[in-house]
Structure formats: structure tokens, C-alpha cells
Amino acid sequence: MKFKTTPYHHDLLKDTDRLSVFYRAIEEYDGRTDLAYDLGCGSGVLSYFLSSKFKEIISLEVERKAYVCAKENLADFDNIQVVNSDVLDYEFTKKADLIVCEMLDTALIDEEEVPVLDYAKRFLKPDGKIIPEAIVNAAELVNMQRDNVHWDEGARYEILSDEIIYSKFDLLDDIDPNFKAILKFKAKKDALVNGLKITTYTILNDNIIAGPLPMLNPPLLIPLEEKEIKVNDFINVEIKYIMGKGIESIETKIVR
């Protein structure tokens, strides 16, 4: 099936690895199949994947141009209703068996996955499921060339520590969007540290974990005050951010 898309969603469709992990997760879904919500449906490709499994799919998209594309792409499916609405403004009237919400980004900082699911989960049946199920966040110390927050898309940097897992969130749980933690690293070499690399792994279901993909949670590089470090030094970094409030909410500092 050929999809009409906006330029941004065209790039999403080109990331075939991203599409394949969501397709597999939907195909492996094992539960009731009366109703699914596709939140932030974009061009409608995930709703299309859902169409053969569910009696009814309600697909929400706030961006008008993307909504028009999804409406046209899914016009022949009697079991899909495409709605032009912000999830937080939509008046849900039915409880769903499954919520698919691909408002994902690195550490859930820049997109609205957490506030959207916090609201929408009230309209999920007690035994309902969410795709994806969880995320895992990891961090490394780096020396990076740029002095602003940016995604790892051809950026040059040197990794200075082992990767540490610093948080995991089950998306069925209530999540406090105000995140704060002390990350503890051990230096692998003598160097100048001036940044953090944050990597997010997405758990689609018990069988599928997706590492960073071009259009699914590319690693994030975050500036840090400069510090000369020696091999085997221990470095503690405080990081704070608000999930769903954007990369502007990120704060870091080296602490004792």
C-alpha cells in the first residue's frame, strides 16, 4: 500500500527498521481485539497494521496536514476512525484493549509520550496493553565538539566511560515527568570531559527491544561543564529534565 505523507512522515516511513519492530509488536499482540487507540497516528501506517486485528481503531492526529494524509490513506477501512485532535483534548468514550503511542524520543524528553499516556491510560481496560511497553535509558561520558544539546546524527565525539543504565520506565505505570538522578561513571582514559551521551532502548514487548534507529530515539548529546579526568576516576553527574517539556528543560552538573 502506498501512503501519502508529509515530508517528516515520509522520513519516518523510510526507516524500515522502525516500521518493522512496530509491525512485529502489533502482529505479536496477544489480547482482546475489540478496540485500539493509535495516538499520534501520523500518516496512519500503524493504524493500517492494526486494521486486520481489531474490530475498531480510533486514530488521533493533531497536525492537520498529517491528519489529511491519514484520512485519505485509511479511507477504505470501515473499522478505522481518524480524528483531527490533540489527545489531551479528545473526549474518550470507550475503554480500549490496546494503546499504540509512538510519540517517542530519547529519554521521552522532547515528545509528549508521558503526559499523553498519563491521560489516555484512564481509557485503557484493566487488562489492556500498551505498545511500546517500556523504555530503558543509558548514559556515557563523552568529549564532544559542539556546545549545545543535539542528536547523534553524524556528530563527532569520543566516549570516555562505560555505558551505565540509569532508568527504566514501564509505560503502564504512572510516571513522574520531573526526572532527577545522580549518574556515577568511571573514566576509561585521561581526557577532557564536556558532555553526556544519552541512549534510549525501546521495549516493544517481551520479545522485541529496539536500539536507537534513525527515526526512533537517536542518541542525545548534552553539554557538561569541562573537567580534566584521569583513567579510573569516578565522576558523578547530576541530570534533571522534564519529560514532555523539551530539551530546553535539561540541566546537568558535575557533583562530588
In a domain, 2, yes or no: no
In a domain, 117, yes or no: no
Residues 111, 105 contacting (CB under 8 angstroms): yes
* Section 143-169 average pLDDT: 95
In a domain, 212, yes or no: yes
pLDDT per position as a tens digit, 176-223: 999 999 999 999 999 999 999 999 999 999 999 998 877 678 899 999
In a domain, 39, yes or no: yes
- Does residue 174 share a domain with residue 87? no
Q: Which residue, of 84, 102, 120, is where some domain finishes?
A: 102
In a domain, 109, yes or no: no
- pLDDT at residue 9 is higher than 70: no
Rounded to 5 degrees, what angle do the CA atoms 193, 199, 200 make? 155
Helix axes 7-14, 16-27, angle to 10 degrees: 70
CATH number reported for the structural domain that contains residue 46 in this entry: 3.40.50.150
Looking at every residue in the chain, the average pLDDT score rounds to 94
Predicted confidence band at 4 (pLDDT cuts at 50, 70, 90)? confident
- In the block, which residue shows the cell 468514550? 93
- Does residue 243 share a domain with residue 146? yes
Residues 139, 183 contacting (CB under 8 angstroms): yes
- Does residue 156 share a domain with residue 85? no
How far out from the chain centre does Cα 161 lie?
25
Query: In the prediction, which pLDDT does 13 show?
Result: 65
- Tell me, what amino acid is at 117? L
pTM of the model: 0.92
In a domain, 11, yes or no: yes
- Does residue 83 share a domain with residue 167? no
- Does residue 96 share a domain with residue 14? yes
Query: In the prediction, which pLDDT does 88 show?
Result: 95
In a domain, 21, yes or no: yes
19-33, 71-85, 208-222: least confident range: 208-222
pLDDT per position as a tens digit, 97-123: 999 999 989 999 999 999 999 999 999
Q: Which residue, of 54, 84, 102, is where some domain finishes?
A: 102
Query: In the prediction, which pLDDT does 124 show?
Result: 98
- pLDDT at residue 2 is higher than 90: no
- Does residue 141 share a domain with residue 96? no
- Does residue 146 share a domain with residue 78? no
- pLDDT at residue 11 is higher than 70: no
Q: Which residue, of 55, 83, 102, is where some domain finishes?
A: 102
Total of domains in the chain: 2
- Does residue 74 share a domain with residue 172? no
Residues 254, 194 contacting (CB under 8 angstroms): no
CATH number reported for the structural domain that contains residue 158 in this entry: 2.70.160.11
- Does residue 150 share a domain with residue 251? yes
In a domain, 116, yes or no: no
Length of the chain: 256
Query: In the prediction, which pLDDT does 153 show?
Result: 82
- Does residue 161 share a domain with residue 70? no
Q: Supply the range of the domain harboring residue 188.
A: 134-255
pLDDT per position as a tens digit, 33-57: 999 999 999 999 999 999 999 999 9
Residues 69, 43 contacting (CB under 8 angstroms): yes
Predicted confidence band at 256 (pLDDT cuts at 50, 70, 90)? confident
What CA–CA distance (Å, rounded) separates 221 from 177?
20
- Does residue 138 share a domain with residue 240? yes
- Does residue 242 share a domain with residue 150? yes
